[in-house]
Amino acid sequence: MMVRIFTALIAMMMTATLAVTSAGAQQGPLRIEITEGVIEPLPFATPNFVAENGNSAEMGAQLARVVAADLQGTGLFREIPASAYISNISDFGAAIQYPDWKAINAQALVTGAVTVSGNNLSVKFRLYDIFSGAELGDGLQFQGTTEGWRRMAHKVADAVYSRITGETGYFDSRVVFVSETGPKNKRKKRLAVMDYDGAGVKYLTDSSALVLAPRFSPTGDRVLYTSYETGFPRIYVLDVGSVQRRVLENTQGSMSFAPRFAPNGQTVVYSQATGSNTDIYTIDVSSGRSKRLTSAPSIETAPSFSPDGNRIVFESDRSGAQQLYIMPAGGGEAQRISFGQGRYGTPVWSPRGDLIAFTKQSKGRFHIGVMRVDGSEERLLTASFFDEGPTWSPNGRVIMFHRETQGASSRSTLYSVDITGRNLRPVRTPEGGSDPSWSPLQK
Amino acid sequence: MKLTTKMVLMVAAVSMAACTNADRFGADDGAGAFDPNASANAGIIAGSASDPTSTAYFQQAVGDRVLFEVDQSSLTAGGRTTLDGQATWLLTNADYTAIVEGHADEQGTREYNIALGNRRADAARSYLLSKGVPSLRLQIVSYGKERPIEICSEESCYSKNRRAVTVLAGGLTG
């Protein structure tokens, strides 16, 4: 029942209609008010997870906070604070007092229980549809170490989110990005990785060499990036666990940049500048064998594979200004897909295969936008002095990018936005942040 | 260009002479005595901008950079003139190699700006090659928009950032 409400909600947001969801198949007073295209987020409660042994009360509270922040952070849910609770959850197995939760307008209730023993952590949760007066889906249990507590909270939130929206979640994921400090003319950059919500930042390189645009592999175990450590931009692959790196392309007289993995995790598509010209190539990560895919005298760069691996979207200035094109993954005739006024760059194919995100520059402003794969239904999601470099959440519903402010004291900040253009919010990083790349959902 | 060559030859000739010519350059009036720590050409300090074989001279007197219009990688007339001077200097001072760095202003996406900076560096290098500088002495690199000189977000700064800079390596006076 709740899934159908949310599917309707999201469909409405996508088409920005002003209709009110009909009460239709639901029972009771459950209703979503939509006025002027503003969606009312679904109110929910997440009491502290019940400590089922002595050491776990603080862990129970921390888990609930992360779950609540994940859900509220989507802009689709609104947490009802504990100060409003009439009932409390002190026994994970006890019956829910539905009228008490109904009375404070909680439509969804997430309860949990936690056991900590030594380094071992066990987390259980249940999700209740208050207005139906029943559990929604089965309770689940996660086992792991205390060190992985955040991931378990994210997995609970992913389960709740997916049961209510009908979509897969995206909270148990990481983002690799460039962490930067210093003024624009003396900027120091190094690679960093963190949980999608900004927790657990770990640095992968130092700032002794200029590093740019890291991208996760399809399984999240490696990162491709561009580094100037040889004095020239070259593409590298780095293993996230061991932090070992090696250069992938080192041709004298050429430069390489803008690498991305194919879905097979073996082929890397990238851009190579030789002489005056920049074209798209692929290279096999194991054999080092490379293949040239484009040969026009124009600039071809910023390639991105489709999730089925069959096609590549890229930017080219062959028409006189940067536009987006799609060609077969082995090279060949390219179809132009962008036709609006302005310049289009940094195209990235959604993991769902349905949309391409891009950076658009028009009339002195920068935008993050999306369009269908055939170029239709172009929508601009943001506008500012400078926005660049979209990356997709694992479920293709949220985009992260970076935004730079104007002028001498410019700073770069990561932001995320829903693909409906709603819920634009900064992602906090210890220093300035740019060039984010979102990992797949972790297993 | 011819004038420059004459200057270089004159200076070279003078540097061969004994330092008793110090007075001609107006330095050290009255001293006259041989000072092994002073340059043989008193008034021209080795490695400084007055030493025509130095990097400083190349940067300041010859001009180490050319600028570009927005989105353009074609050389302006002024750019070609500067590069003519660079070519002459490089042919005269044959123990230097150089790397031409191409740059873009911040008004664009990261990858495209690396490619555009590359075009600019290559345009300057190709011109120098056409003036006879051996290709083995010249490399190129692009920094895209990553290394601006000026940091305001206005055309007055952008125009200085859209550049190709010839950076020397090697030589006796660094």
Residue A408, Cβ neighbours under 10 Å: how many? 12
- What is the mean pLDDT, run by run of 10 residues, along chain A of 443 residues? 58 41 34 46 97 92 98 95 95 96 96 95 97 94 96 97 92 98 95 98 97 97 97 97 96 96 98 97 96 97 98 97 97 96 97 97 96 97 97 97 94 95 96 98 93
Does the beta-carbon distance from A255 to B118 stay under 8 Å? Answer: yes
Closest CA to A280 of A318, A308, A307: A318
Distance, in Å, from the CA atom of A387 to the CA atom of B153, rounded to the nearest integer, reads: 15
Distance, in Å, from the CA atom of B11 to the CA atom of A107, rounded to the nearest integer, reads: 89
- For A164-184, the DSSP string reads HHSS----S-EEEEEEEES-G
Place of tokens 């790397």: B99
Q: Which of B116, B118, B148 sits opposite A185 (nearest CB)?
A: B148
Closest CA to B167 of B46, B86, B84, B78: B86
Distance, in Å, from the CA atom of A227 to the CA atom of A250, rounded to the nearest integer, reads: 11
Closest residue in chain A to residue B154, using alpha carbons only: A407
Distance, in Å, from the CA atom of A112 to the CA atom of A128, rounded to the nearest integer, reads: 11
DSSP B62: I
Residue B120 C-alpha, separation from nearest chain A C-alpha, in angstroms:
8
pLDDT given for residue A1 in this prediction: 55
Distance, in Å, from the CA atom of A174 to the CA atom of A193, rounded to the nearest integer, reads: 7
Does the beta-carbon distance from A388 to B147 stay under 8 Å? Answer: no
pLDDT given for residue A26 in this prediction: 37
Does the beta-carbon distance from A301 to B107 stay under 8 Å? Answer: no
Task: Decide: A111 and A125 in contact? Cβ < 8 Å.
Answer: yes
Long-range contacts of residues A90-93, Cβ cutoff 8 Å, at least 24 apart: A90/A50, A91/A50, A92/A50, A92/A52, A92/A124, A92/A126
Closest residue in chain B to residue A180, using alpha carbons only: B146
CATH superfamily, domain A174-438, is: TolB, C-terminal domain (2.120.10.30)
Q: Give the residue from B100, B109, B167 with the most A CB atoms within 10 Å of its CB, the best one to mutate.
A: B109
Q: Choose the CATH number for A2-165 among 3.40.50.2000, 3.40.50.10070, 3.90.1300.10, 3.40.190.10.
A: 3.40.50.10070
| A–B interface: beta-carbon pairs under 8 A | 96
Which residues, at least 6 apart from A65, have a Cβ–Cβ distance to it below 8 Å? none
Q: Which of B108, B111, B149 sits opposite A271 (nearest CB)?
A: B111
Give SS3 for B139. strand
Which residues in chain B are contacts of A214 at CB distance < 8 A?
A: none
pLDDT given for residue A32 in this prediction: 33
Does the beta-carbon distance from A276 to B151 stay under 8 Å? Answer: no
Does the beta-carbon distance from A408 to B141 stay under 8 Å? Answer: no
Show the CA angle centred on residue A307, arms to residues A344 and A291, nearest 5°. Answer: 75
Total H helices, total E strands in chain A: 4, 33
User: Where are any strands of DSSP class E within A40-147?
Assistant: 42-45, 50-51, 77-79, 108-117, 120-129, 134-135, 140-145
Residue B151 C-alpha, separation from nearest chain A C-alpha, in angstroms:
5
Distance, in Å, from the CA atom of A175 to the CA atom of A434, rounded to the nearest integer, reads: 11
Does the beta-carbon distance from A255 to B119 stay under 8 Å? Answer: no
Backbone angles phi and psi of A54, in degrees to 5: -60, -35
pLDDT given for residue B94 in this prediction: 95
The whole-model pTM stands at: 0.87
Q: Give the residue from B75, B106, B118 with the most A CB atoms within 10 Å of its CB, the best one to mutate.
A: B118
Does the beta-carbon distance from B142 to A299 stay under 8 Å? Answer: no
Q: Which of A255, A386, A408 sits opposite B141 (nearest CB)?
A: A255
CA contacts within 13 A on the Cβ side of A191: 27
Which residues, at least 6 apart from B141, have a Cβ–Cβ distance to it below 8 Å? A231, A232, A233, A255, B99, B100, B101, B102, B121
For every one of its 174 residues, what pLDDT tens digit does chain B have, with 9 covering 90 and above?
A: 444 444 444 444 444 444 444 433 434 444 444 555 554 555 678 778 889 999 999 999 999 999 999 999 999 999 999 999 999 999 999 999 999 999 999 999 999 999 999 999 999 999 999 999 999 999 999 999 999 999 999 999 999 999 999 999 986 544
Backbone angles phi and psi of A216, in degrees to 5: -70, 150
Which residues, at least 6 apart from A264, have a Cβ–Cβ distance to it below 8 Å? A218, A309
Class of the CATH-defined domain B52-170: alpha beta
Give the distance between the most distant pair of CA atoms in chain B.
Answer: 62
Residue A221 C-alpha, separation from nearest chain B C-alpha, in angstroms:
24
3-class secondary structure per residue, B81-132? HHHHHHHHHHHHCCCEEEEEEEECCCCCCHHHHHHHHHHHHHHHHHHHHHCC
pLDDT given for residue A435 in this prediction: 98
CA B114 to chain centre: 23
Query: Per-domain residue ranges for chain A?
Result: 2-165, 174-438
Task: Decide: A108 and A74 in contact? Cβ < 8 Å.
Answer: no
**Helix B110-130 and helix B77-92, axial crossing angle in degrees, nearest 10:** 60
Q: Give this complex's ipTM.
A: 0.91
Does the beta-carbon distance from A276 to B150 stay under 8 Å? Answer: no
pLDDT given for residue A54 in this prediction: 86
Distance, in Å, from the CA atom of A270 to the CA atom of B115, rounded to the nearest integer, reads: 12
Query: Per-domain residue ranges for chain B?
Result: 1-44, 52-170
Place of tokens 């002095």: A385
Distance, in Å, from the CA atom of A238 to the CA atom of B38, rounded to the nearest integer, reads: 53
Q: Which two tokens stand for residue A435?
A: 């060039």
Alpha helices in B17-101 (DSSP H): 55-57, 77-92
| Chain A positions touching chain B (beta carbons under 8 Å) | 183-185, 187, 210, 212-213, 228, 231-233, 253, 255, 257-258, 271, 273, 275-276, 278, 299, 301-302, 315, 317, 321-322, 343, 345-346, 359, 361, 385-386, 388-389, 404, 406-408, 410, 435
Give SS3 for A65. helix
Q: Which of B118, B147, B153 sits opposite A278 (nearest CB)?
A: B118
User: Where are any strands of DSSP class E within A318-397?
Assistant: 323-328, 335-336, 343-349, 355-362, 365-372, 379-380, 387-392
Residue A220 C-alpha, separation from nearest chain B C-alpha, in angstroms:
23
Helix H or strand E encompassing A4: helix A2-15
Give SS3 for A366. strand
**Tens-digit pLDDT profile for residues A318-353:** 999 999 999 999 999 999 999 989 999 999 999 999
**Tens-digit pLDDT profile for residues A186-228:** 999 999 999 999 999 999 999 999 999 999 999 999 999 999 9
